[in-house]
Structure 1
Amino acid sequence: MRFSPFTYGPLVATMTYGCLAAGDNSTEEEPMLQLSTDPAFHFDTLVPLGLAIAGGADIGPVLGVAKDIEAGNMESFTQQFHDLANRTKAQAEDPDNSYDSVNVQDTWFSASNYFRRATNYIFGNWSDPRIVDFWAEQIAAFDKGLVAMTIPGERVRIPATKGNFTIEAIWYAAPENKHANAPTLIVGNGFDAAQEDSYHVYCVPALARGWNCITYEGPGQPTVRINQKIGFIPDWERVVTPVVDYLFREKSHLVDPDMLVLLGNSFGGYLAARAAAFEPRLSAALLVGGVWDFSLVFLSGLPKSLVAMFDAGNYTDFDHEVLSLRASGDVPTNVLLGLNQGLWTFNTQSPSDMLMQVKQYRVEDFIDQIKIPVFVGDAEFESFFKGQPQLVKEALGDRATLHKFTGVAGYHCQVGAGQELVRVLFGWLNKTLGGSGSGPQKKR
């Protein structure tokens, strides 16, 4: 997941996208200045802009890109961000700009961010060489930033114990706790964002508060999907449990085993909930977006005629109708993004197969097995999982705390309001796990 959701939505021009075109709210009712008349482009420009508070972008260059992107033209979005990425890369490579590690770190991290944004709209053609090329560029740039950190981040590959795949992860040691056990945050994204995004949104504030942090990607998520050609799996404990094993095996001298918190962002709200139900070593879970039933997002957005066709098992006709609409050129940007991303991440060319897979992603089947405290984030203008966080809270009962973000922080994943997001999250952790100061301490 970029921090945007994709919405398969009605395959008509009235479909809403993500959170910034939420429900029946018109653009005039939005409490935030719109960066594009195209709601998909607005959101996907706000994403990199939001990373600026943690060294992942510069504000002026991103606004310059927003000015030059042609609404509705996906190739324009790709080209503008790719050009910005290359300009920033050239600045990072300039010896005159390498006079200190902070400058090196920020410039390379920004270049990486812009390369990631350039991939947003190219997954409709799986053979497009830019998918591999741009992603290799973003990883190479990010790795140069990792090396420049005060305590360099460490990219690791963790073999899954159940399944033929490898988890991609990055470890960040807490600066002020590098010789002692510290609380540790495990961060997983959702449908389309990279773990490199997670560093700026969650790890920078975690490290500043004395936490260790590890990000990861599993099947269906960008690096694993690109390099290993594996789509999403519903039993996400197969991804998180090896990460926990790695921490206890390789970082036991740095990790407090009683302060191990799992965070799931966007669709990661389902993934983290699933893992929390089957991984007993976790201390708490943060669901930045509660997901009750992922299939509701798809089925509730489809025209009734297509739903009836799918329910009747007319999969060939269903696929033909959906793919014909995609090829027609008459569907809006947000529809193309949603469909292309969905097919890509579930590793299928068949919309009906994608929907059948998605029906496996429902927390009702295992939520009673979650025994740890859970933070459930909701948003005033949420349309992607609208109403679902409340269902998650009700099912968890006293084990969960529901927090509703409002106003300019009231959009999906609180994109553009990162300070408020982490202020609330770490406040809850401090209260729930106990302690004060830069990081929580164990309750006695």
Structure 2
Amino acid sequence: MGQILLMSMATAQNTSSPPLTLPLSQDDSFNFQLLAVLAVAPYSGADVGPVLATAQQIEPGNFSSFSEAFYTLANTTKAEAEDPQNAYDPINVRDTWFSAATYFRAADFFLHGDWTDPLINLLWEEQTAAFDQALASLPVPGVRVRIPADNFTVEAIWYSSTAEGGAHRPTLILGNGYDGSQEDLYHTIVVPALARGWNCLTYEGPGQPSVRRSQNLGFIHDWERVVTPTIDYLLSEHADDVDDARLVLFGFSFGGYLAARAAAFDSRLAALILDGGVYDTYAAYSAALSPELLDLYLSNNQTAFDSAAESLRTDPSLPSSIRWGLEQGLWSFNTESAFEFLQRTSLFTLEGVTDRIQIPTWIANAEAEAFFPGQSAQVAEALGDRATLHNFTGAAAYHCQVGAFQELSRTMFAWLNQTLS
């Protein structure tokens, strides 16, 4: 999940629509990310008051200010979690550690422009340690697993909906996107899924937070290399727990491309969930270029394009969303060249593979989608009668229904119940 605008002309103007909810920052990018932190409060991922107080301390457009404010909140919350007086029951321990983990992740979000910044790894170590403390306090503790794949390792977390073995329950395989972590998915989908009797396995592959850090690997377009070993793991190690007739793959944000690509090359899935649909990554990213910058890219002059992109990135008047999108793209694709980054995105397309997706597919279409506008409908059209396109409007119309995760869950699980019953 997150903001995926990449770059624009140096004279870019803010043409965004008025916010759908009460604004939390004058900076559109900060506003969206603050809303993303608040959005996990219903599922024990944050507390509303501390986040709103932190929002007041952040200087719009100042990435360091955003990081420092959430780092302070994360450490304050961590201290509360470590206070022996507060550890009187597992629920208190769990919720406090989960919130601390969320705040450490928020502190990391805007830092990927400088790969040498030690906070990139330090904050992730802190969030992982905090999240693991919370995992251990769940009624059925979550378990981290490492799944061997093709020259890399998938990082995953297994959540069982029951402590009793042999239940053969429906199971969700959940993957995030361009910037989101598997830990984020716990507060987005896992909690409501477990409450409905679903097992869950969240995972991360190349380009995603833990694999990018620990294995130094950027995104790969052939995502079946990630998901197929994950399905192998579930059907071998949890054969008594997983109903293989109700095995569903979920892709969040840019994961809408990743999951769809994987589903095209593995026939063991019963259904596919895309929130939202991503048909052509290059088309979305290149559309954010000025005509001059696009012409420079198409001229195949890598040196000139990289120089122009770097000048753009360091322009103090550049909107935060564009600066962040470029910096995150370079980091998550593991390249220091904006030209190579954009070039690689052309591989991330569903052109020629949608005919291979033969399972029922639910696609979320956000009315205010800012990052892949129109592409959910494009994926649905390519899939034909195999697809159900659901339009989210009103306050649920942000990218990935940020701020309306209860509405997302109600709608998604209603479709799953009807489709798989």
For Structure 1 versus Structure 2, the TM-score category normalised by the shorter chain is: over 0.9
Shift of 1:325: 1.8
Correspondences of 1:128-167 after superposition (within 5 Å) = 128-160=117-149, 162=150, 164-167=151-154
Which residue of 1 is the match for residue 414 of structure 2? 427
Which residue of 1 is the match for residue 258 of structure 2? 271
Shift of 1:407: 0.4
Per the alignment, do residues 15 and 132 of structure 1 end up closer, same or farther by CA in structure 2, a change over 3 Å counting?
Answer: farther
Which residue of 1 is the match for residue 276 of structure 2? 289
Which residue of 2 is the match for residue 8 of structure 1? 6
Correspondences of 1:213-232 after superposition (within 5 Å) = 213-232=200-219
Correspondences of 1:319-334 after superposition (within 5 Å) = 319-334=306-321
> Is 1:34 aligned with 2:23?
yes
Which residue of 1 is the match for residue 173 of structure 2? 186
Percentage of matched positions with identical amino acids: 52
1:212 to 190, 199, 211: 199
Structure 2 counterpart SS, 1:5: coil
Structure 2 counterpart SS, 1:320: helix
Correspondences of 1:305-320 after superposition (within 5 Å) = 305-320=292-307
Shift of 1:15: 5.7
What letter corresponds to residue 158 of structure 2 in structure 1?
A: W
Q: Would you say the 8 A contact 2:7–2:323 is kept in 1?
A: no
Shift of 1:121: 1.0
Of residues 320-329 and 424-433 in structure 1, the stretch that sits farther from structure 2 once superposed is: 320-329
What letter corresponds to residue 155 of structure 1 in structure 2?
A: R
Of residues 83-92 and 65-74 in structure 1, the stretch that sits farther from structure 2 once superposed is: 65-74
CA distance in 2: counterparts of 1:369 and 1:324, whole angstroms: 42
Shift of 1:224: 0.3
Runs of 4+ in 1 over 6 A off after TM superposition: none
> Is 1:417 aligned with 2:404?
yes
CA distance in 2: counterparts of 1:50 and 1:174, whole angstroms: 23
* Per-residue deviation, residues 385-439 of structure 1 (Å, max 9, x unmatched): 11111111111000000001000000100000010001010001011111xxxxx
Correspondences of 1:8-407 after superposition (within 5 Å) = 8-12=6-10, 14=12, 25-27=16-18, 30-160=19-149, 162=150, 164-175=151-162, 178-407=165-394
What letter corresponds to residue 285 of structure 1 in structure 2?
A: L
CA distance in 2: counterparts of 1:261 and 1:330, whole angstroms: 44
What letter corresponds to residue 104 of structure 2 in structure 1?
A: F
Q: Would you say the 8 A contact 1:15–1:335 is kept in 2?
A: no
Shift of 1:11: 3.4
What letter corresponds to residue 12 of structure 2 in structure 1?
A: T
What letter corresponds to residue 114 of structure 1 in structure 2?
A: Y
Shift of 1:296: 1.2
Per the alignment, do residues 203 and 178 of structure 1 end up closer, same or farther by CA in structure 2, a change over 3 Å counting?
Answer: farther
Shift of 1:75: 0.6
Which residue of 2 is the match for residue 21 of structure 1? none
CA distance in 1: counterparts of 2:38 and 2:393, whole angstroms: 20
* Per-residue deviation, residues 85-108 of structure 1 (Å, max 9, x unmatched): 000000000000000001100000
Count matched residues. 421
Shift of 1:178: 4.4
Q: Would you say the 8 A contact 2:140–2:163 is kept in 1?
A: no
CA distance in 2: counterparts of 1:25 and 1:194, whole angstroms: 26
Per the alignment, do residues 408 and 165 of structure 1 end up closer, same or farther by CA in structure 2, a change over 3 Å counting?
Answer: same
Structure 2 counterpart SS, 1:372: coil
Shift of 1:36: 0.3
Per the alignment, do residues 266 and 13 of structure 1 end up closer, same or farther by CA in structure 2, a change over 3 Å counting?
Answer: farther
CA distance in 1: counterparts of 2:335 and 2:16, whole angstroms: 33
Structure 1 counterpart SS, 2:75: helix
Shift of 1:179: 3.8
Shift of 1:31: 2.8
Q: Would you say the 8 A contact 1:151–1:173 is kept in 2?
A: yes
CA distance in 2: counterparts of 1:9 and 1:425, whole angstroms: 33
Shift of 1:309: 1.1
Of residues 127-136 and 175-184 in structure 1, the stretch that sits farther from structure 2 once superposed is: 175-184
Shift of 1:365: 2.2
CA distance in 1: counterparts of 2:164 and 2:299, whole angstroms: 58
TM-score (structure 1 length as normaliser): 0.93
CA distance in 2: counterparts of 1:274 and 1:177, whole angstroms: 34
CA distance in 1: counterparts of 2:253 and 2:99, whole angstroms: 23
TM-score (structure 2 length as normaliser): 0.98
Q: Would you say the 8 A contact 1:56–1:110 is kept in 2?
A: yes
5+ residue gaps, structure 2: none
5+ residue gaps, structure 1: 17-23, 435-444
